[in-house]
């Protein structure tokens, strides 16, 4: 009887202890300290890299096609100086381009020189002319990156033109001097477009596929031109 009571008391102790023991605490987890940066904030993007302030200078050679009354084809020699000003976008750059060019157009025209009283009608003669045309044009160039080494560009500028012209008159009686191409100073509006190829950082080849020179005042008139140039970084 005593043994049974002791056994019952022994079994009841673990049950009572189990009831009185508090539940185990949940495991503690360590978390990294929160950043002071707000959740919506993102790192500030770096600004667009500005182009290096360097000059590129080189010669250009091409030809010019006269428009209007002066229909001619003439060689054209030009010196280009280019400097990048600022980056408009990651692919677009604004530059300054200064050009000095020399062109030697020439041509001939048939002009009336006298009235023939015996057969009626006008007597004509062929008059030849040539000119040296000097142009100084500052322009803005917008360049777009089309590939790793290929750029597209468009130019627009306004400058001065000086023309020194000569007229050759045939030895016909009654023919008076006529200025087919005027000599003097005028203005020129230059528009052009083309592409640039840069095989190395210091060397560049440019092809002006199309150019329009609209001249005002003295000179041989407006013209189209095409020019190829090479330039080197200074």
- The whole-number pLDDT of residue 6 equals 47
Phi, psi for 170 (deg, rounded to 5): -75, 155
C-alpha distances in Å from residue 9, one per residue of 1, 5, 6, 120, 156: 13, 6, 5, 156, 108
Could you report the per-residue pLDDT of 136-177, keeping only the tens digit for each?
999 999 999 999 999 999 999 999 999 998 887 766 545 555
Q: Which CATH architecture has domain 50-233?
A: Beta Barrel (2.40)
Per-chain mean pLDDT for the chain: 80
Domain ranges of the chain: 50-233
Looking at the predicted structure, is the pLDDT value of residue 37 above 50?
Answer: no
Enter the tokens of residue 83: 């400097």
Could you report the per-residue pLDDT of 91-131, keeping only the tens digit for each?
999 999 999 999 999 888 776 666 666 666 666 777 788 89
Is the Cβ–Cβ distance between 155 and 192 less than 8 Å?
A: yes
Distance, in Å, from the CA atom of 227 to the CA atom of 33, rounded to the nearest integer, reads 65
- The whole-number pLDDT of residue 108 equals 81
- The whole-number pLDDT of residue 1 equals 47
- The whole-number pLDDT of residue 28 equals 59
């Amino acid at each position: 009887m005593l043994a049974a009571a002791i056994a019952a008391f022994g079994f009841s102790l673990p049950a009572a202890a189990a009831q009185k023991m508090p539940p185990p605490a949940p495991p503690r987890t360590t978390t990294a300290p929160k950043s002071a940066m707000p959740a919506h904030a993102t790192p500030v993007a770096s600004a667009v890299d500005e182009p290096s302030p360097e000059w590129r200078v080189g010669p250009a050679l091409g030809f010019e096609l006269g428009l209007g009354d002066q229909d001619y084809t003439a060689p054209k020699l030009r010196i280009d100086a280019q400097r990048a000003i600022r980056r408009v976008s990651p692919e677009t750059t604004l530059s300054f381009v200064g050009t000095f060019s020399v062109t030697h157009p020439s041509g001939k025209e048939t002009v009336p020189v006298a009235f023939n009283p015996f057969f009626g009608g006008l007597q004509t003669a062929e008059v030849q002319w040539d000119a040296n045309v000097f142009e100084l044009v500052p322009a803005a160039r917008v360049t777009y990156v089309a590939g790793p080494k290929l750029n597209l560009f468009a130019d627009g500028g306004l400058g001065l033109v000086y023309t020194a012209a000569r007229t050759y008159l045939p030895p016909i009686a009654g023919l008076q001097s006529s200025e087919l191409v005027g000599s003097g100073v005028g203005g020129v509006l230059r528009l052009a477009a083309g592409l640039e190829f840069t095989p190395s950082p210091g060397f560049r080849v440019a092809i002006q596929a199309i150019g329009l020179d609209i001249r005002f005042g003295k000179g041989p008139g407006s013209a189209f031109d095409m020019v190829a140039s090479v330039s080197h970084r200074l």
